[in-house]
Amino acid sequence: MRAHLSNAGYGVLDYVAYPAGMLFVAPIALRNLGTAQYGVWMIANAVLSIGSIVASGFGDANIRLMSMARGGNHQARLDAVHSTMGIHIALGVTIALISWALSPAAAVHIALSNAALRIECLWSLRIASLLILARAVETVCVSTQRAFERYGAAVRFSVMARLLALATAAVLPLAKQGVVSVMIATALLITESLGMQLIQLKRLLGAHSLWPSFDREATHTLLGFGLFSWIQAVSGILFGQVDRLITGVYLGATAVASYALCAQMAQPIYGIAASGLHFLFPYVSARVTEGTVKPLRRTVLVAFAANSLLVGACTAMLVAFGTRLLTLWGGPTIARAGGSVLPFLVWSTAAQALSVTGAYTMLALGRVRLVTVLNLAGGVAMLLAARWLLPKYGMQGMAMARLFCGPVTLLVYIPLAAMLFRETRVSSRTGAVVTVCEEISQ
């Protein structure tokens, strides 16, 4: 239990450290960098974040494969890591090159007629492009450590590097350094952190080299699971931002500012639940063995209880104090505009957060396609509802449309309950759950 609590704590730390640091550093960086360069810094960070997610979408596949191989032979674990490294480097190089190629055009549109700012923007975006590859490789290190349920080792270096990078954004402008200097310092810190993580990973695996390769069986397994987890990651980016884009197009910049702040305030309900319970994924994956899944019942029920308590506490806090926090954060104008929107966003996010236990368990049991389909269906349901609600109710209608997403993702518990409460077996080779009647008929 202590190990699980420790892993949960480190998972939450990984999620909250950077946003909390940003709340402290942002006013200092804004004052010393100036509005224009601060905006460039925000855009470069957004490019790095989105590019990293797209380039690192096979991390969950690595966690599952490594968790299942922990009790197996040493070579199987090495094949899994080498193959994941190969996939992530291929994705990282591709996304980095695309971002690098688009940087000049983006800089022109962002800086407009300001030639000096255009150069700052260009090189900030190009540095961010290179860091996408570093983050893709870092995901291999982090996901492998998590597969061994070593969450502290997985996040210490990355959290420290990100916090130090935020510190440079506050300190360097005091020495009359601009956004490019901040991005260079960030690159050095992330590279140093990556080097330490690679050394740590080699020690963990007892490997002489982490050079990428493509073992046929390991790569086939990773692609079979990872393609769907990658689709989930990409769709998460799209559906996570599309409501703000639609609101902006329909209602303008002022409305989207209020909506975005409300959505950002509600997001930790899901983020804390997902990061705190992430240890359930490698834990269940490692215990997928030939035989029944009945021993997992207690684990899943306890995790769901913790999931519900966590979501309930966060939701109650925002329902009670959300408007006051919104006033402190965005001012009375934002609070008036977003006051009627925040409750809908809180409840919709809470519904999605309740699906975390089911989603992680089903992923560990090999039902990645089902989880992916439900996530996509939830996003589509939101968009269809928005088409009808947004023109009628404005910004509040978009928030109401988000309510259609959560119940769809909660459907994951129907097949999960069927697996846990009827006689089933799990393939030790693939980890896929098969009912006894299906096995006999085969």
Side-chain-facing half-sphere of 58: CA atoms under 13 Å: 30
Is residue 241 packed enough to be buried (19+ CB in 10 Å), middle (13-18) or exposed (0-12)? Answer: middle
**Phi, psi at residue 425, to the nearest 5°?**
-130, 165
pLDDT at 245: 66
Between 85 and 433, the higher pLDDT residue: 85
pTM over 0.85: no
Question: 34-38, 79-83, 367-371, 373-377: lowest mean pLDDT where?
Answer: 34-38
Task: Give the closest residue to 240 by CA, choosing from 146, 164, 113, 348.
Answer: 348
Percent with pLDDT over 70 in the chain: 90
Distance CA 343, CA 348 (A): 9
pLDDT at 98: 95
**Number of Cβ within a 10 Å radius of residue 24:** 13
CB 80 within 8 A of CB 65: yes
Average pLDDT over residues 235-246: 74
CB 51 within 8 A of CB 96: yes
Average pLDDT over residues 298-312: 93
One-letter amino acid identity for 160?
M
Between 307 and 259, the higher pLDDT residue: 307
Average pLDDT over residues 225-238: 84
Strand partners, 435: 424
Three-state DSSP class for 176? coil
Q: How confident is the model at residue 35 (pLDDT cuts 50, 70, 90)?
A: confident
Distance CA 400, CA 389 (A): 7
One-letter amino acid identity for 86?
G
CA angle 6, 11, 15 (to 5 degrees): 145
Domain limits, the chain = 1-214, 220-442
pLDDT at 71: 66
H helical segments located in 148-215: 151-171, 179-205
pLDDT > 70? residue 427: no
- Note the pLDDT tens digit of each residue in 107-152: 888 777 788 888 998 999 999 999 999 999 999 999 999 888 888 8
CB 381 within 8 A of CB 373: no
Would you state the structure tokens that stand for residue 426, as one six-digit string? 């799990």
Task: Give the closest residue to 23 by CA, choosing from 341, 365, 416, 330.
Answer: 330
CB 390 within 8 A of CB 339: no
Distance CA 71, CA 320 (A): 48
Side-chain-facing half-sphere of 310: CA atoms under 13 Å: 26
pLDDT > 70? residue 437: no
pLDDT > 50? residue 290: no
Question: 30-34, 55-59, 159-163, 224-228: lowest mean pLDDT where?
Answer: 30-34
pLDDT at 127: 95
pLDDT > 60? residue 253: no
